[in-house]
């Protein structure tokens, strides 16, 4: 579990100060009466902000936002929280902000975070914008990125002695919007997620195995998934980003299946008996995959009958995400592989290990290809790639993997904008 970081501690301090003082009334909850509180409260909410696209790794994207005080009283001091996905870095640092890089953990990817102490009064009924748009730089790994903003009014965010970004840096300020905002504009989001889509690709790859053995042997066949980059990829829902089927070669039975693989029947559902399964459906463990990452899926197969060139196809299938296929992957050549048992012309012990019925390895190790990298683990918009139909070309099953939540968001002009009306808080899954 993550230790209490500076930014996290400041966020908690802000929330505690808000509860102790004025209550922040948001679109997610009605005003709450607090005993002994006579002063009217401030209510800070964001307006909609368009997604950003067409940028490339190395570019700087400018993020504009607007916030309105819909409450009856002023906000005398404001805490602005910025949470960026791991393909971003802050191109401009401000002297009234504290910055932090959060490593990947709790099944969530890494982040870049900032907490900004804006010591100015935001008056009721006024729409404010940053004096200059926020700037974020897209890293080489960038693809589907996101900058999330939350704001707290009247919170003593920075205890005395807290180190800010640096005295030589400019100050992040909010100024009244000019010209004034459209009176009919929607302001009601206490958290704003702005999608930033880079013109980049990620190469998802599968590798199989070639094993041999005689009837009664148990062989180990390793299948592998890899993201060869250059970009990391995150799903737009909580489901795994990579989904693929592993065909079980004729004449064999799975005795031990790897984690994240389940027997599948026609259409992707569960078979009546696991032992009868001719296909296993496998997924990545998380809803994102880092670049240069690889995960192996070792199957143990009992050879019930020797069948020359017994082959099981390994291929991606449609996943539970908005794209369905892999539009960011422009290299479909490695999107399929095979598990082959007793290929013609090969003698026992070639290409894979066998186990006797009583256990114990009798031959060499498993074979599998793929790029080695960090741990397999990746929000945004479908890259206008050319491989939207690549999976259909493989002839793989197009059934969805598992039921999941629908993508919560507003899809706009090739980008996406997620808006939430929950109280501010960090989600462990990105």
**pLDDT for the residue 182:** 67
Please determine, for residue 407, whether its predicted confidence score (pLDDT) is greater than 50: no
Where does the pLDDT of residue 39 fall: very low under 50, low under 70, confident under 90, or very high at 90 and above?
low
**pLDDT for the residue 75:** 93
Rounded Cα gap, residues 66 and 124, in angstroms: 14
**pLDDT for the residue 169:** 76
**pLDDT for the residue 179:** 78
Please determine, for residue 361, whether its predicted confidence score (pLDDT) is greater than 50: no
CB of 320 closer than 8 Å to CB of 268: no
Least confident of 21-35, 42-56, 182-196, 300-314: 21-35
Count, in order, helices (H) and strands (E) of the chain: 2, 29
Please determine, for residue 406, whether its predicted confidence score (pLDDT) is greater than 70: no
Please determine, for residue 134, whether its predicted confidence score (pLDDT) is greater than 80: yes
**pLDDT for the residue 183:** 64
Express each pLDDT in 50-97 by its tens digit.
Answer: 999 999 999 999 999 999 999 999 998 899 999 999 999 999 989 889
Structure pTM? 0.71
**pLDDT for the residue 9:** 53
Please determine, for residue 193, whether its predicted confidence score (pLDDT) is greater than 60: yes
pLDDT more than 70, % of the chain:
65
333: how many CB neighbours lie within 10 A of its CB? 8
Q: What 3 state SS string does 351-370 have?
A: CCCEECCCCCECCCCCCCCC
Where does the pLDDT of residue 265 fall: very low under 50, low under 70, confident under 90, or very high at 90 and above?
confident
Rounded Cα gap, residues 269 and 283, in angstroms: 14
- Is the preceding peptide bond at 22 cis, omega within 30 degrees of 0? no
227: closest CA among 322, 326, 317? 326
* Residue 220: burial class (beta carbons within 10 Å; 0-12, 13-18, 19+): buried
Where does the pLDDT of residue 186 fall: very low under 50, low under 70, confident under 90, or very high at 90 and above?
confident
Four-CA torsion 418, 195, 326, 141, nearest 10 degrees: -140
Task: Outline where DSSP puts E strands in 154-292.
Answer: 174-176, 187-189, 191-198, 202-207, 209-211, 218-230, 233-234, 243-247, 252-256, 261-264, 279-283, 288-289
Express each pLDDT in 376-404 by its tens digit.
Answer: 333 333 333 333 333 333 333 333 222 33
**DSSP string for 72-117:** SS-BSSEEEEEEEETTEEESS--TTEEEEEEPPBTTB--EEEEEEE
- More confidently predicted of 212 and 399: 212
The pair phi, psi for residue 334, each rounded to 5°, is: -105, 20
Express each pLDDT in 285-331 by its tens digit.
Answer: 999 999 999 999 999 999 999 999 999 999 999 988 888 889 999 99
DSSP state of 389: T
Least confident of 42-56, 74-88, 342-356: 342-356
284: closest CA among 187, 378, 216? 378
């Amino acid at each position: 579990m993550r230790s209490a970081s500076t930014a996290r501690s400041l966020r908690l301090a802000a929330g505690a100060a808000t509860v102790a003082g004025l209550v922040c009334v948001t679109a997610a909850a009605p005003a709450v009466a607090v005993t002994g509180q006579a002063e009217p409260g401030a209510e800070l909410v964001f307006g909609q902000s368009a997604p950003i696209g067409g940028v490339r790794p190395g570019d700087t994207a400018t993020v504009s936002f607007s916030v309105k005080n819909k409450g009856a009283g002023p906000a005398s001091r404001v805490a602005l929280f910025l949470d960026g996905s791991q393909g971003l870095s802050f191109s401009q640092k401000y002297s009234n902000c504290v910055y932090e890089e959060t490593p990947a953990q709790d099944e969530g990817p890494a982040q870049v975070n900032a907490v900004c102490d804006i010591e100015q009064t935001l008056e009721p009924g006024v729409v404010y914008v940053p004096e200059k748009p926020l700037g974020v730089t897209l890293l080489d790994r960038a693809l589907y990125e996101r900058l999330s903003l939350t704001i707290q009014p009247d919170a003593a965010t920075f205890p005395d002695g807290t180190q800010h970004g640096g005295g030589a840096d400019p100050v992040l300020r909010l100024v009244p919007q000019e010209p004034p905002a459209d009176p009919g504009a929607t302001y009601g989001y206490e958290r704003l997620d702005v999608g930033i889509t880079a013109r980049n690709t990620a190469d998802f790859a599968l590798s199989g195995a070639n094993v041999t053995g005689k009837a009664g042997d148990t062989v180990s066949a390793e299948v592998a998934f890899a993201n060869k980059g250059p970009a990391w990829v995150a799903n737009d829902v909580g489901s795994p980003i990579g989904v693929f089927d592993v065909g079980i070669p004729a004449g064999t039975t799975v005795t031990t299946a790897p984690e994240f693989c389940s027997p599948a029947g026609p259409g992707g559902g569960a078979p009546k008996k696991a032992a009868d399964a001719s296909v296993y459906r496998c997924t990545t463990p998380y809803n994102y995959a880092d670049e240069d990452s690889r995960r192996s899926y070792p199957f143990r197969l009992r050879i019930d009958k020797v069948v020359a060139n017994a082959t099981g196809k390994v291929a991606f299938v449609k996943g539970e995400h908005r794209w369905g296929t892999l539009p960011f992957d422009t290299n479909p050549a490695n999107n399929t592989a095979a598990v082959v048992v007793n290929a013609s012309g090969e003698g026992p012990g070639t290409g894979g290990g066998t186990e006797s019925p009583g256990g114990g390895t009798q031959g060499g190790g498993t074979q599998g290809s793929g790029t080695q990298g960090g741990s397999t683990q990746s929000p945004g918009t479908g890259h206008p790639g050319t491989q939207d139909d690549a999976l259909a070309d493989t002839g793989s099953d197009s059934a969805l993997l598992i039921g999941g939540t629908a993508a919560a968001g507003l899809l706009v002009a090739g980008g996406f904008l997620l808006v939430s009306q929950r109280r501010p808080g960090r989600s462990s899954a990105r």
